[in-house]
Amino acid sequence: MNRLHTMISTRARRWLALPITTALLSVTAAAQEGQEVVKRWGLKPPASSYGHRFDELFTLITTLIGVSFLIVLVMLLVPVFRDRAKPGRSASFDHGSSLHDKRFTAVVSIIVFIVLDASVLIVAMGDLREGYWAIPKDPTAESKPYRVEILAQQWAWNFRATGPDGEFGTADDIITINELTVPVDTPVVLNMTSKDVIHSLYLPDMRFKRDANPGAVNEGWFEPIQTGDFAILCAELCGYAHYQMHGSMTVLSEADFEAWEQDASYLATALYDADDAEADWAWPWQE
């Protein structure tokens, strides 16, 4: 009898230990997964010279909207608790049509417009003028822009950079698909268009996004401030394989980029085929 009791107790402990162990493993896995999600989705530091402007603007908008939401929430909760029905008293309410209510609404609307809309608009327009729209034009400047032509299509990014001759549409042009290589601390100026539908070049780490429209050439620019590999995405729904339209951008130091550019241009010249009409998509540079 004692032996049977011992066997039952042992089995019971084993059956109890199984769900407890499983629960502990699940909690540990969930904690690790949570850490990975935070790491995966955490905002990376901007990798372009003007990227901090957009991060600061995002923080400003989020803060102003958050504070406004809390104020509105308090203004809604106060009358809910103050004017609710109580023992011996019925709930009181009105339609907000009194002169006092109209004045209050007008004052709040003006304050919201000045504090939220106007201030954000002023900051955003300043960032656009001094950063996003300030496309370098002077080729004689100390930091000469690196120019790239981009032809978007379903579902790939075609990049073209000039070789030593500095002209687009020649034998030494460096042509790549879904891979872009640029120098660090140098303005990268883009001419972009589309072969079929509207696409949108999105470089999240550079805080850059610009549409590529068929029948038009759009300009854009960024200046990478750190080396490494960065994602190239399409931010415009462009067809059933839109999710496949991504690539990689490599930012190299000045010395490494010069070596890469020399090798890439030499290889492009060696492989140049004047009869390949598909590769002959360059256009005269537009500013």
Task: Identify the pLDDT of residue 141.
Answer: 59
Within 13 Å and on the Cβ side, how many CA atoms surround 203?
26
| Domain boundaries, given as residue ranges, for the chain | 51-81+96-132, 146-279
Q: Output the pTM of the full model.
A: 0.75
Q: Distances in Å between the alpha carbon of 101 and those of 68, 90, 96, 106, 239?
A: 19, 22, 5, 9, 50
CA distance 154 to 239: 7
Return contacts of 89-97, CB within 8 angstroms, 24+ apart. Answer: none
Task: Identify the pLDDT of residue 105.
Answer: 84
Give which of 256, 261, 201, 250 is closest to 47, Cα–Cα. 250
CA distance 184 to 194: 27
CA distance 63 to 81: 27
Q: Distances in Å between the alpha carbon of 107 and those of 64, 103, 156, 206?
A: 18, 6, 52, 40
Task: Identify the pLDDT of residue 211.
Answer: 95
* Contacting residues for 192 by C-beta, under 8 A, at least 6 apart: 149, 150, 151, 152, 201, 210, 212, 217, 218, 219, 220
CATH 3.40.50.1370 for the 146-279 domain, yes or no: no
Task: Identify the pLDDT of residue 220.
Answer: 93
Task: Identify the pLDDT of residue 276.
Answer: 80
Outline where 83-215 has alpha helix (H).
99-112, 119-127
Give the three-state DSSP class for 27: helix
Radius of gyration for the chain, computed over Cα atoms and rounded to the nearest angstrom: 30
Task: Identify the pLDDT of residue 113.
Answer: 84
| Tens-digit pLDDT string for the chain (287 aa) | 445 444 444 444 444 444 454 444 454 444 444 444 445 666 788 999 999 998 999 888 888 889 888 988 988 898 888 878 888 788 777 777 788 878 888 888 888 888 888 888 888 888 888 888 888 876 655 668 999 999 999 999 999 999 888 889 888 899 999 999 999 999 999 999 999 999 999 999 999 999 999 999 999 999 999 999 999 999 999 999 999 999 999 999 999 999 999 999 899 888 888 778 777 888 989 88
Cα-Cα-Cα-Cα torsion 182, 200, 46, 146, nearest 10 degrees, comes to: 20
Q: Distances in Å between the alpha carbon of 78 and those of 75, 82, 83, 94, 173?
A: 6, 6, 8, 15, 68
In the block, residue with structure tokens 């070789």: 163
* Contacting residues for 153 by C-beta, under 8 A, at least 6 apart: 194, 195, 196, 199
